């Protein structure tokens, strides 16, 4: 899968978890910039990534995946 | 993690958020959730699950870890919120952390001492008449004695088992307590799908975050049952639902039910339905068939488990099923929203769903070997234990059908009522009747003036305060049979007035003169106790239009009226005693 396609998928996944469709998520979004990306969203996000890509993300990795780019890197490396 | 759970989680948490943005209805439940852990999006998901049952709740969640203090501190936000229902939501991991901090000998009796702590938390709340929900605890994959773990007293496994037994036996013996069987919910998913330890370490969520939806759904089922939202009648299709094959084509020897192969699927299904029937849910048949054919298996197939006498209303014709179900609802005097319709045919289901959106129509899986577990998962028949009247209900409804036939034979209604030879017994609230009284108040929707939903605890409060309250329960029988306890009146004494706080009646006994006989009793009571006025109020709900003008017909004068209520008064000394044809027995007679 191309990096672009994967980025789109991750954005779509986060948007699916957010309660508000108006919130703009982009390839450069990070947890520290995007207000709605709180600790609960992080938990939901990790669980959703595990489900969607049939992977197990370690506790250690989970806390590092706090930007779209970091997630894309991780998924590409572990698919 | 199971796919449908994660999508259900997303669906409900999003939908619930929108629901929570709107103001809650005035009839909302007040629920406090006291947790030793975090449940993600609990309020949103619960709001969405409740909305599907036309319910809403104001929810107060304690911060995890502070609930003990909140219960002890009478000035805490918990008491300020003043909940009706408290869910004490505890998890195995928090138990485990405490467990590991103990010495070997302390571990031996940890379940017992932990349960004492739990009891200490909810008892002050239960004593105030609050409803308390407790949960069971899932096992954890930490069996250091292997298979023998449950046998070793100081193992985690044995402690969790004992704790569950303590919780269950307490709930069984205390009517203010309700059980949320998290232990079962987790085992249905499998512990491998239930737990997600990462979420515990990161956020004190004790299960896979998406499993919050399973917990919220079960919680909403309990709340609905506490609120008296109960399904009361299952309407069954016959061909390929109750048995395999088509009776009109295959004949009684050709249909499949009973030992061997596919027949066992239908036997199991019938057993399951029959057990639901035995706990008080009515069964009706609605089948596209010639009536004569439809009844053959009931009378002559040796392996039919559901018998014709289990069926309160049997309709086999070629009319569309929605019209038939509407007919069943009318003849049983039960609202359409207390019906479930089971049919293997998706077209029939769609027709009923479309025409009667209030009826619950489960989308049965194509593979009928999955029907029982599918239905069970929907948790449609949540209720709390059962009373003797549950066992008799079906019989009573059938007697009603005979009465309706008898009615046509008499020239006028009075003649008919006299011929019924109706006997009534009026009693003050008594401990033995409390379960049935509370149940009647939960179930009655149509003939219910103020829909107060007194709990068993409330009824006991009435019993214990005879100076302030007059609680009456009414039993009825006639020549066709015994109706059991059919009506409840609860009044408050207010100096010169008697205020009717609640008046509810089972719709099975409408138009018999029961309300007249009860008011004769109340008028006499007032006269004997020098009470000059009786006041009654009607609080409108979507279902109780039936009694909107009741007080007027009983001679009350309307004092006030708004969109949603009306207040009435009767001057006891001036009024005439209403006419009826019932032989009334009073407690002292």
The pLDDT tens digits of the residues spanning B75-116 come to 889 999 999 999 999 999 999 999 999 999 999 999 999 999
Instruction: List the beta strands (DSSP E) in B186-308.
Output: 233-236, 282-288
Mean pLDDT score across all residues of chain B: 90
Q: Is residue B393 very low, low, confident or very high in pLDDT (cuts 50, 70, 90)?
A: low
Give the nearest partner residue to B40 out of A16, A44, A62, using CB atoms. A44
- Diameter of chain A measured on Cα atoms: 32
ipTM of the modeled complex: 0.92
Q: Which residue of chain A is at minimal alpha-carbon distance from B196?
A: A47
Confidence of residue B412 (pLDDT cuts 50, 70, 90): low
Continuous H helices in A1-79: 3-17, 39-52, 59-62, 68-78
Residue B416 has pLDDT above 80, yes or no: no
Asked if pLDDT for residue B399 goes beyond 80, the answer is: no
How many CB atoms sit inside 10 A of residue B385's CB? 11
**A21 — contact with chain B (CB < 8 Å)?**
no
Residue B383 has pLDDT above 80, yes or no: no
**In the block, residue with structure tokens 């609960």:** A40
Which chain B residues touch A46 with a CB distance below 8 Å? 198
Residue B303 has pLDDT above 70, yes or no: yes
Note the pLDDT of residue B324: 93
Has residue B404 got a pLDDT over 70? Answer: no
CA distances in angstroms from B419 to B407, B415, B483, B484, listed in the order given: 10, 6, 17, 20
B11 touches chain A (CB under 8 A): no
User: Is B405 a residue whose pLDDT tops 70?
Assistant: no
* Mean pLDDT of all residues belonging to chain A: 90
Pick the residue with more confidence: B233 or A33?
B233
High-pLDDT (> 90) share of chain B, %: 67
- The per-residue pLDDT for B332 is 85
The rounded distance, in Å, linking the Cα atoms of B281 and B394 is 8
Q: Does B198 contact A19 at a Cβ distance shorter than 8 Å?
A: no
CB-nearest to B209 from A44, A57, A62 is A44
Band of residue B500 on the pLDDT scale cut at 50, 70, 90: very high
State yes or no: pLDDT of B195 exceeds 70. yes
| B492 band by pLDDT with thresholds 50, 70 and 90 | very high
B217 touches chain A (CB under 8 A): no
Least confident of A3-17, B215-229, B571-585: B571-585
Interface probe for A, chosen from B64, B198, B199 (most Cβ of A below 10 Å), is B198
More confident residue, B66 or B251: B251
| Chain B environment of A47 (Cβ under 8 Å) | 1, 6, 196, 199, 208-210
- Which residues contact residue B245 at a Cβ distance below 8 angstroms, ignoring those fewer than 6 apart? B239, B254, B255, B256
Average pLDDT for B379-389: 73
Rounded mean pLDDT of A6-35? 86
Per-residue pLDDT at A20: 73
What is the helix (H) or strand (E) element at residue B395, kind and residue range?
helix B388-407
For residue B134, give Cα distances in angstroms to B41, B157, B171. 20, 19, 8
pLDDT of residue B434: 92
| pLDDT classification of A35: cutoffs 50, 70, 90 | confident
Q: Is B386's pLDDT higher than 70?
A: no
Q: Residue B389: its pLDDT value, please?
A: 63
The dihedral formed by the CA atoms of B392, B398, B399 and B405, expressed in degrees to the nearest 10: 170
Give yes or no for residue B126 having a pLDDT over 70.
yes
Name the residue with tokens 């399904």: B231
- Which pLDDT score, from 0 to 100, does residue B481 have? 76
Q: Please tell me whether residue B450 adopts helix, strand or coil conformation.
A: coil
Q: In the predicted model, is pLDDT for residue B410 greater than 60?
A: no
Q: What is the pLDDT confidence band of residue A42, given thresholds at 50, 70 and 90?
A: very high
Residue B562, pLDDT score? 92
Give the HSE-up count for residue B247: Cα atoms under 13 Å, Cβ half-sphere: 24
Compute the average pLDDT of residues B245-251: 89
| Cβ-defined contact of B40 to A40 (cutoff 8 Å) | yes
- Where is average pLDDT lowest: B274-288, B301-315, B387-401? B387-401
pLDDT of B394 over the 80 cut: no
Half-sphere exposure of B491 (CA within 13 A, CB side): 26
Indicate whether B407 pLDDT > 60: no
Q: How confident is the model at residue B387 (pLDDT cuts 50, 70, 90)?
A: low
Confidence of residue B74 (pLDDT cuts 50, 70, 90): confident
* A-B C-beta contacts closer than 8 Å: 42
Is the predicted pLDDT of residue B1 greater than 70, yes or no? Answer: no
The pLDDT, as a whole number, for residue B86 is 96
Please write the tens of the pLDDT for every residue from B446-464. Answer: 899 999 989 999 999 999 9
Q: Which residues of A touch B1 (CB under 8 A)?
A: 47, 50-51
On whether any CB of chain B is under 8 Å from the CB of A48, the answer is yes
pLDDT grade for B469, boundaries at 50, 70 and 90: very high
Per DSSP, B119 falls in state H
pLDDT at B36 over 60: yes
- Quote the CA–CA distance of B528 and B425 in Å, as a whole number: 19
Max mean pLDDT among B476-480, B512-516, B575-579 falls in: B512-516
Which pLDDT score is estimated for B406?
Answer: 58
Q: Which of A43, A51, A58 sits opposite B203 (nearest CB)?
A: A43
Domains of chain B in start order, with CATH, are 2-226 (3.40.50.1110), 233-378 (3.40.50.1000), 410-585 (3.40.630.30)
Q: Which stretches of B301-387 are DSSP H helices? A: 321-332, 346-355, 371-378
């Amino acid at each position: 899968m191309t990096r672009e396609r994967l980025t789109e998928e991750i954005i779509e996944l986060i948007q699916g978890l957010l309660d508000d469709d108006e919130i703009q998520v982009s390839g450069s979004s990070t947890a520290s910039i995007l207000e709605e990306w709180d600790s609960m969203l992080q938990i939901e996000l990790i669980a959703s990534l595990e489900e969607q890509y049939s992977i197990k993300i370690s506790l250690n990795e989970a806390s590092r995946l706090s930007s779209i780019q970091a997630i894309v890197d991780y998924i590409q490396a572990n698919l | 993690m199971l796919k449908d759970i994660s999508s259900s989680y997303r669906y409900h948490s999003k939908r619930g958020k929108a629901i929570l943005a709107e103001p809650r209805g005035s009839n909302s439940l007040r629920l406090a959730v006291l947790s030793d852990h975090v449940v993600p999006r609990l309020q949103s998901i619960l709001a969405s699950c409740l909305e599907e049952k036309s319910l809403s709740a104001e929810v107060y969640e304690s911060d995890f870890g502070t609930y003990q203090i909140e219960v002890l501190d009478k000035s805490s936000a918990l008491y300020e919120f003043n909940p009706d229902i408290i869910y004490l939501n505890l998890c195995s991991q928090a138990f485990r952390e405490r467990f590991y901090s103990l010495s070997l000998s302390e571990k031996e009796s940890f379940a017992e001492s932990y349960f004492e702590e739990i009891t200490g938390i909810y008892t002050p709340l239960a004593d105030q008449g609050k409803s308390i929900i407790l949960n069971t605890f899932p096992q954890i994959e930490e069996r250091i004695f292997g298979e023998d773990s449950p046998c070793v007293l100081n193992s985690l496994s044995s402690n969790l088992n004992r704790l569950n037994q303590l919780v269950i036996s307490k709930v069984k013996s205390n009517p203010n307590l309700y059980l949320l069987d998290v232990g079962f919910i987790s085992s249905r998913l499998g512990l491998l799908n239930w737990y997600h330890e990462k979420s515990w370490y990161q956020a004190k969520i004790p299960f896979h975050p998406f499993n919050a939806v399973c917990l919220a759904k079960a919680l909403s089922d309990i709340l609905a049952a506490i609120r008296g939202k109960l399904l009361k009648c299952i309407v069954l299709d016959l061909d390929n639902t109750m048995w395999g094959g088509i009776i009109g084509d295959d004949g009684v020897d050709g249909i499949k039910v009973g030992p061997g192969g596919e027949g066992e699927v239908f036997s199991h299904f019938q057993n399951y339905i029959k057990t639901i029937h035995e706990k008080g849910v009515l069964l009706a048949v609605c089948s596209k068939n010639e009536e004569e054919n439809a009844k053959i298996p009931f009378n002559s197939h040796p392996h039919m488990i559901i018998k014709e006498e289990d069926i309160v209303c049997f309709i086999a014709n070629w009319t569309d099923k929605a019209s038939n179900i509407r007919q069943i609802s009318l003849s049983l005097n039960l609202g359409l929203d207390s019906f479930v319709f089971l049919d293997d045919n998706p077209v029939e289901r769609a027709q009923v769903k479309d025409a009667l959106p209030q009826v619950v129509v489960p989308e049965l899986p194509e593979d009928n070997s999955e029907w029982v577990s599918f239905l069970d998962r929907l948790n449609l028949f949540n209720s709390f234990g059962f009373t003797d009247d549950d066992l008799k209900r079906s019989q009573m409804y059938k007697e009603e059908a005979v009465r309706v036939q008898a009615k046509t034979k008499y020239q006028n209604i009075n003649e008919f009522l006299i011929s019924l030879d109706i006997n009534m017994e009026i009693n003050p609230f008594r401990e033995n009747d409390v379960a049935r009284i509370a149940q009647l108040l939960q179930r009655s929707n149509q003939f219910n003036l103020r829909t107060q939903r007194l709990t068993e605890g409330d009824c006991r409060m009435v019993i214990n305060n005879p100076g302030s309250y007059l609680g009456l329960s009414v039993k009825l029988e006639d020549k066709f049979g015994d109706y059991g306890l059919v009506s409840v009146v609860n009044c408050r004494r207010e100096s010169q007035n008697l205020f009717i706080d609640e008046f509810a009646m089972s719709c099975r006994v409408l138009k018999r003169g029961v309300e007249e006989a009860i008011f004769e009793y109340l008028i006499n009571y007032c006269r004997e106790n020098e009470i000059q006025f009786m006041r009654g109020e009607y609080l409108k709900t979507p279902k109780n239009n039936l009694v909107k003008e009741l007080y007027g017909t009983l001679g009350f004068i309307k004092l006030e009226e708004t969109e949603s209520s009306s207040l009435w008064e009767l001057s006891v000394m001036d009024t005439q005693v209403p006419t009826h044809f019932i032989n009334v027995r009073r407690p002292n007679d």
